[in-house]
Amino acid sequence: MRTIFLSVSLFLIDGAVVIAQPLSGNKVVLVFDGYVKSPSGMESDIYYSKANDFRNHFICPKSTNDTLVINGIESTVVLTHVFSLGANYIYEFHKGDTVKLDYKNGLPRVSLSNKRPVLKHDLNFEDDFKAIKRPSEPSVFRLDNKRPRSKEENLMYEKELNDYFVARDEKLDVLFHEKLLSSTIYTIHKARNKFLKINLSKANYSFGTVPESDLALDNLLPVKTYKYFLENYIIGKYKVGKVNDFDYDFKQAFDAALSDSKLSYKTKEYLLFLFLNNIANSKDKELLPVYFEKFQAFENGNELSQWIKDSYLLDLNVLKKEEKEVLLLDSMKRKTSLKEFVAKHKGKVVYVDFWASWCAPCRASFPYSLKLQQELKGNDVVFLFISTDDNFDIWMKATTKENLSESSSFYLINPKASEFIRKIKLNSIPRYMLFDKEGKLVNADASGPKEVKCKAEIVQLLNR
């Protein structure tokens, strides 16, 4: 598992849709004018959270000029636009807002088409005061300069970082007192400064002295730096151990959060949900049912419990232990097997592609697979895509994004238990296999679709 800052991807692809009907008041409309994707490397660089909700929803503009609608807004949403490393533009929008995001000058500039009154710097605080520059974080400096900072440079960095926070706080205070910034926007940015500063100094921060009031700020759950602060609080206060260079002991973290009496219900719910997802994606995933029961008891089986159950297929625990077959699920959660798929296509060559949503080389090969399918169109060959993802929901989103055919894309239920998977030593992906027209496995480690010999081997089997 790869974790950054102890964070798990709790992002959900949002049900944003192109406007097709008159708007009711519980929506926010986003109108993109000259949208420029940031160089951040994220699958999407824009996400939002509803008021008092920690879940982040991706927004994915389809073109430079696109219009999207966010549905089901009860009051407000906090939208974050990641424009570069360390540069997160944060906005708060109200239900009924029609928002224009203008990229003519390269950076997002926001305005409202509706007549809701806003103060001068409510919508574009980050852009208005981008002259207050944050120094490069150690990881960014190392990446840019191919070396870490020297001792002297570190001292300068600490001074520049402190000056950055002081300058932002002072500017925020002035704008708020001069009534140029509303209280909610002021609160968001002040909190971002406060908790970002703590997060950046977490190694030397005494989390055991955190006041209870800082652990119950439900209104800040949409703000990423506050969520990271909560994670760091649990790790720091309870001295949660690391199991490798990347991962903490998420079981210990879960139990610590569950027992902590200072957390509010909502902040505790966030931490338990986070650590439960981390457990599901760690070497301890077999213990997920045990910790799921604890989570379900805490929050009385609401929609988050159902999301965990559906995403990690907890109702299929018996099938996950099946040894004799390679069990598969389609997008409708209908069960089949590799054996059944190959038998169904007897008389055709079957090219199998094992992949996962998190595997960049796997997904980079899909255009070559599509090209190969087009070149072999009309021949007796079928392409089968089998995902080794831990999370069914994430696999579904990746399948949709990659435009994989539902009839040939499946989720692997029992990768740990299957004797066949162990026999072929499926220890890394991407991995490819070939079955001949009789359904016999003829190559358990076939060439990838990008390689010329891949097509040649398939053609050879077709001509037998």
| Per-residue pLDDT of the chain in tens (464 residues, 90 and over written 9) | 223 233 334 444 343 333 333 344 789 999 999 987 765 555 457 899 998 889 888 888 888 899 999 999 999 999 998 876 557 889 999 999 999 999 888 778 999 999 899 999 999 988 788 788 888 888 888 988 999 999 999 999 999 999 999 999 999 999 999 999 999 999 999 999 999 999 999 999 999 999 999 999 999 999 999 999 999 999 999 999 999 888 899 999 999 999 999 999 999 999 999 999 999 888 888 899 999 999 999 988 678 888 888 778 777 777 888 899 999 999 888 889 999 999 999 999 999 999 999 999 999 999 999 999 999 999 999 999 999 998 888 999 999 989 898 899 999 999 988 999 999 999 999 999 999 999 999 999 999 999 999 999 999 999 98
Show the CA angle centred on residue 60, arms to residues 55 and 62, nearest 5°: 165
Q: What share of the chain is helix, strand, coil (3-state, %, to 5)?
A: 40, 20, 40
Task: Output the pLDDT for position 4.
Answer: 26
Query: Token digits for 24?
Result: 């009711």
CA-nearest of 413, 388, 419 to 323 is: 419
The CA–CA distances, whole Å, from 417 to 280, 321, 423 equal 16, 5, 11
CA-nearest of 58, 78, 49, 54 to 189 is: 78
Q: Which amino acid is at 402?
A: E
d(CA 10, CA 55): 6
Q: How many other CB atoms are there within 10 angstroms of residue 116's CB atom?
A: 11
Query: Token digits for 42?
Result: 């994220």
Show the CA angle centred on residue 193, arms to residues 190 and 198, nearest 5°: 130
Task: Output the pLDDT for position 8.
Answer: 39
The CA–CA distances, whole Å, from 2 to 84, 106, 152, 245, 438 equal 21, 32, 32, 10, 40
β-strands 98-102, 109-112 pairing:
antiparallel
Q: Report the predicted TM-score, pTM, of the whole model to 2 decimal places.
A: 0.73
- List phi, psi (to 5°) of 287: -90, 0
Task: Output the pLDDT for position 58.
Answer: 84
Domains defined for the chain, CATH in brackets: 1-118 (2.60.40), 323-462 (3.40.30.10)
Tokens 């070497």 sit on residue: 283
d(CA 183, CA 174): 12
Q: CB of 239 within 8 A of CB of 67?
A: no
Q: Which amino acid is at 226?
A: Y
Show the CA angle centred on residue 336, arms to residues 324 and 462, nearest 5°: 90
Q: CB of 202 within 8 A of CB of 230?
A: no
The CA–CA distances, whole Å, from 253 to 85, 274, 435, 439 equal 28, 10, 45, 47
